[in-house]
């Protein structure tokens, strides 16, 4: 990083400026594991995050007393070189006449520039001086975290993971913004923990103490209903999810997902996932198992499936604004006449997967893109019935979402997804269209293709500005998708497209409950026999603490 001794920043009055924000928890979405076993699973509606809360800092002052009305010829920094961005902020003040007001503006400009630099903590002082030759002296010191102090729910707990992350913060002097943001964010990412950070001046020059107030969460339980189904089932499904933390060790999360058709007979699903931290740099290991039983409506066909998965994830980049998460996993699925979307299949698949997820947030926007590669292997007793699929296959998939706050209360959301392959994919690897995500005017998984793309636009308006119903909104949408189903036996390759539009209302009570009423209609049907009547949907979810 280029640094300067001239044209640099100064803050007033022996001030430690604390350029730190509350990082916010990393965004999550349903795992591919859940989506492949249960096509009704869909992500939460994304909205731009609230503005981060700046941690308290001292007020800025200029110590210089009597200031002669002389033109500023140069600005000299004492104590340390400053980043180029700070020097650039000071440069426009050269040539201006020195005064108390001008020096305050100078201090504020340089302090703001320091806040955008790679330096996390800094002291800027314009001291008492005689301004000989029009030179303005600025004392600069870059700070560091000398100690992390834990409070709150600390009795009887080891806090091993929090302490491991805190140690990484205190090891670097001066403390860089990248290190401070990464490890404060990782502390905030610990599942089942809320950490409230505060900064206070330390005992050494330039030193700061980081106080973390810890609040450990109790297990949570949520219940939901969605009347959307595939063509194989009727009347919708109920779902439930339970989360428990620290069952085996600090930082663990154990999650149980249950789903069932309304009659508790046509469809039953259960999934168990456990994740645990590895080391002190954000790596997590997760293992999963799930089972489903299906009996499509008005048929004697009964089926079942089991899937087992193991994966590891690593936050390559973790900051307040931008994040990159890498993941590698392996899974095995065994099915016997099981219903996957609108398909019934008997197959045994083994697959390795690599994926990367990038997220970027600001006060008015959130953006994410996830891309992955999947490779199927004809090993470990894999079996897929030819010509309907292949045990060895390769596919690439991607999805992206953008949520933009256009004005007060008005949001625009854009979603896209795609999948590419040249192989006849097994049923559980298909590109599914129809349902909550894309093709809202159709039943869930009305199309199960090998490759394709999908687009959706959703403007939304929140008429209630404050209070417990502030997240409630009215929305409209339009979507379009196109997909290829590769040739299988006597069935030639075909390309289908679909599109729909509609509107709805989401009524939300805090973050505890939401109910969504929607209506949708197709404008482009994938098949001549596809129903094109108005489709009415309702789904709700209630979150509680155990």
Please indicate, yes or no, whether residues 113 and 200 belong to a single structural domain of this protein.
Answer: no
The pLDDT of 67-78, averaged and rounded, is: 89
Q: Which helix (H) or strand (E) holds 503?
A: strand 494-509
> Has residue 536 been placed in a domain?
yes
Residue 540 within any structural domain of the chain? yes
Q: Note down the domain range covering 247.
A: 32-53+218-545
Note the pLDDT of residue 142: 81
pLDDT reported for residue 15? 36
Report the DSSP pairing between strands 253-261 and 237-245: antiparallel
Same domain for 246 and 177: no
Is 319 domain-assigned?
yes
pLDDT band of residue 1 (cuts 50, 70, 90) is: low
Helical pair 177-189 and 160-171, crossing angle rounded to 10 deg: 180
What confidence score (pLDDT) does residue 58 get?
34
Buried (b) or exposed (e) across 512-527, using 16+ Cβ within 10 A? ebbbbebebebebbbe
27 in any annotated domain: no
| Token couple for 426 | 């097994």
Residues 443 and 513 in one domain: yes
Q: Is 418 within the bounds of a domain?
A: yes
Q: What is the mean pLDDT of residues 448-476?
A: 96
Q: What is the mean pLDDT of residues 306-330?
A: 97
Which one of 189, 216, 243 terminates a domain?
A: 216
- Same domain? For 108 and 170 the reply is no
- Residue 98 phi/psi, 5-degree rounding, is -65, 135
- Integer-rounded Cα radius of gyration of the chain: 28
**In a shared domain, residues 184 and 285:** no
> Is residue 23 situated within a structural domain?
no
In this structure, are 530 and 440 located in the same domain?
yes
Q: Are 121 and 95 members of one domain?
A: yes
Residue 25 lies in a domain: no
- Encode pLDDT of 207-228 as tens digits: 888 999 999 989 999 999 999 8
Asked if residue 247 and residue 170 are part of one domain, the reply reads no
Q: Are residues 224 and 194 in the same domain?
A: no
Indicate if the pLDDT at residue 439 is higher than 90: yes
> For the segment 143-169, what is each residue's pLDDT rounded down to a tens digit?
899 999 999 988 888 889 999 999 999
- Checking if the pLDDT of 371 tops 80, the result is yes
Mean of the per-residue pLDDT values of the chain: 87
Q: What pLDDT does 140 receive? A: 84
Co-location of 258 and 161 in the same domain: no
CATH number at residue 196: 3.10.20.310
List, in order, residues 6 or more apart from 522 with CB less than 8 Å away. 441, 442, 498, 499, 500, 530, 532
Using DSSP, state whether 229 is helix, strand or coil.
Answer: coil
Interior CA angle at 351 toward 349 and 354, to 5°? 160
Q: What are 417-437's pLDDT values in tens digits? A: 999 999 999 999 999 999 999
Whether 124 contacts 137, CB under 8 Å: no
pLDDT tens, residue by residue, 516-537: 999 999 999 999 988 889 999 9
pLDDT over 70 (residue 413): yes
Q: Residues 486-516: pLDDT tens digits?
A: 999 888 999 999 999 999 999 999 989 999 9
Q: Quick one: 267 and 375 in the same domain?
A: yes
pTM, to two decimals:
0.84
Given 123, 142, 161, the domain boundary residue is 142
Query: According to the model, what pLDDT value does residue 5 have?
Result: 56
In this structure, is residue 26 part of a structural domain? no
3 state SS for 273-342: EEEEEECCCCEEEEEEEEEEEECCCCCCCCEEEEEEEEEEEEEEEECCCEEEEEEEEEEEEEEEEEEECC
**Nearest CA among 194, 193, 195, 192 for reference residue 148:** 195
Task: Convert the pLDDT of each residue in 25-40 to its tens digit.
Answer: 554 444 444 555 444 4
Domain boundary among 142, 173, 194: 142
Nearest C-alpha neighbor of 449 from the set 437, 432, 435: 432
Q: In angstroms, rounded to a whole number, what is the distance separating the alpha carbons of residues 519 and 3?
A: 59
- Residue 54 is predicted with a pLDDT of 42
Is the pLDDT at 64 greater than 70, yes or no?
no
Q: What is the DSSP letter of 33?
A: H
Tokens of 290: 């799930």
Please tell me whether residues 408 and 454 are part of one structural domain: yes
* Structure tokens, 100: 């108390």
Total structural domains within the chain: 3
């Amino acid at each position: 990083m280029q640094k300067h001794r001239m044209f640099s920043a100064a803050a007033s009055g022996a001030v430690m400026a604390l350029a730190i924000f509350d990082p916010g928890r990393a965004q999550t979405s349903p795992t591919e594991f859940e989506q492949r076993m249960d096509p009704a699973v869909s992500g939460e509606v994304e909205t731009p995050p609230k503005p981060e809360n700046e941690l308290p800092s001292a007020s800025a002052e200029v110590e210089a007393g009597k200031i002669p009305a002389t033109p500023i010829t140069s600005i000299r920094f004492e104590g340390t070189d400053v980043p180029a961005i700070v020097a650039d902020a000071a440069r426009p003040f050269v040539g201006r006449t020195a005064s108390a007001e001008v020096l305050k503006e100078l201090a504020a400009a340089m302090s703001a520039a320091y806040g955008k630099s790679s330096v996390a903590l800094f002291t800027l002082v314009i001291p008492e001086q005689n301004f000989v030759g029009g030179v303005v002296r600025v004392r600069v010191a870059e700070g560091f975290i000398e100690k992390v102090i834990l409070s709150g729910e600390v009795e009887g707990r080891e806090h091993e993971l929090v302490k491991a992350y805190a140690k990484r913060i205190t090891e670097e002097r001066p403390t860089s913004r990248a290190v401070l943001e990464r490890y404060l964010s990782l502390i905030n990412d610990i599942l089942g923990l809320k950490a409230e950070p505060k900064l206070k001046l330390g005992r050494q020059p330039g030193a700061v103490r980081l106080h973390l107030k810890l609040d450990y969460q109790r297990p949570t339980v949520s219940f939901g209903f969605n009347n959307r189904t595939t063509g194989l089932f009727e009347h919708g499904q109920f779902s439930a999810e339970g989360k428990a933390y620290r069952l085996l060790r600090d930082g663990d999360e154990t999650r149980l997902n249950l789903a069932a058709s309304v009659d508790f007979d046509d469809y039953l699903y259960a999934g168990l996932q456990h994740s645990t931290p590895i080391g002190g740099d954000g790596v997590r290991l997760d293992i999963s198992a799930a089972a489903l039983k299906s009996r499509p409506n008005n048929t004697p066909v009964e089926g079942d499936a089991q899937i087992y998965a193991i994966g590891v994830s690593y936050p390559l980049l973790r900051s307040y604004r931008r994040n990159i998460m890498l993941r590698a996993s392996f899974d095995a699925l065994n099915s016997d006449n099981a219903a996957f979307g609108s398909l019934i299949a008997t197959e045994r698949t083994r697959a390795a997967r690599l994926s990367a997820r990038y997220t970027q947030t600001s006060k008015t926007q959130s953006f994410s893109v996830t891309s992955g590669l999947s490779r199927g292997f004809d090993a470990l007793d894999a079996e897929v019935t030819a010509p309907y699929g292949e045990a060895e296959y390769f596919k690439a998939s991607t999805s992206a979402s953008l949520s933009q706050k256009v004005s007060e209360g008005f949001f625009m959301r854009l979603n896209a997804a795609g999948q590419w392959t040249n192989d006849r994919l097994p049923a559980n690897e298909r590109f599914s269209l129809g349902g909550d995500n894309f093709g809202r005017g159709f039943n869930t998984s009305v199309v199960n293709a090998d490759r394709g793309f999908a687009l959706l636009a959703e403007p939304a308006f929140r008429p209630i500005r404050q209070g417990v119903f502030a997240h409630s909104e009215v929305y409209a949408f339009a979507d379009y998708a196109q997909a290829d189903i590769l040739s299988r036996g006597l069935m030639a390759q075909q390309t289908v497209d679909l599109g729909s539009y509609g509107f709805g209302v989401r009524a939300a009570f805090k973050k505890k409950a939401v109910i969504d009423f929607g209506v949708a209609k197709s404008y482009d049907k994938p098949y001549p026999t596809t129903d094109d009547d108005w489709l009415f949907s309702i789904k709700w979810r209630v979150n509680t603490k155990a």
